[in-house]
Structure 1
């Protein structure tokens, strides 16, 4: 018969041997999404040393969109250096972050704005929130490369069970208020808090609704 101390040690050892996920940023992640009308999309997150890079590709009718952002990592905080949107291989819009200033605009229409606080693209923001218990950075603004939007705040809209890869996993849902519209995120609380759903409207013209269908973290497929 095990003593209480011996039993506690065995339980702790068994717990530590189980696969677990935390909010720590992974070294790599590949997220497969289904977009509006079943359009496929992929987001990759890669971290190497103090640098990160996020690439999201969406295949829409007649053209392919690539969103790319990169910067530095300190602990679980992301600090972007650049963001760009590429359509059919050509730069469409971009933003560069340096010394309290953001240079942004459509290709050939760049302008510079002094900003305080933090400015991020919405894909970097997704991973920032995932790694920090959905806490917004102070003085946050977001950019799509064409414009810079102040963030009025964020609210949790509830929790739910999300279905993908033949199973279900719990998610927490949030709405980020960007100007007069919103960005909706759902984070898988038991899978590194990865973004399981991202929904946003780009300048009131095109709506993207990305729903997770598959994920690999650090090279290993993860299922609910």
Structure 2
């Protein structure tokens, strides 16, 4: 798949194509690979999210801000953003990693997204990187409620339904892929009374359930 599809998802076109290729290159494929860019991107992501939280919650103490930031920059959150971009379709992986399902592995996808943030900063500066990160994270930022932001998606969905005296969602395994040591699970979250059905995937059933719940919350938020 052409990298231009990824750039459309990011809302940014790279001037230095070599930077983009390096960001998408896993160490199993070749060198230069994306680990140094990942290091840079991690710092940029933390700075941007910290700034957005600082602006959004002017009265929130440092400890609460730190917890909200940790929630947003953790692997699960990065993995969700990477899946929304179909990032696995653009990865450059070694043959062994490709065969073992590396293009869907949460840790690889999360690290690659951070590498893209680092490449963005080198290509166009901090403001451009911050704009892309803010756009990608807008949905998650809008859902934050101080004191509740660190609760996982399943808990938040349960509380949403209980608050409206509705039945709790049902989670069902919809499929598995990959070798036994690197399986990917797909789980459906079904809320019959609201006619909502979403799916999530992850390296464990629990991670897949969390993603399905997050997508259910997004669906309910739009309804």
Q: TM-score, normalised by structure 1?
A: 0.28
* Greater fraction strand: 1
* Greater fraction helix: 2
The structure that has the greater radius of gyration is 1
Higher relative contact order (CA 8 A, sep 6+): 2
Q: TM-score, normalised by structure 2?
A: 0.28
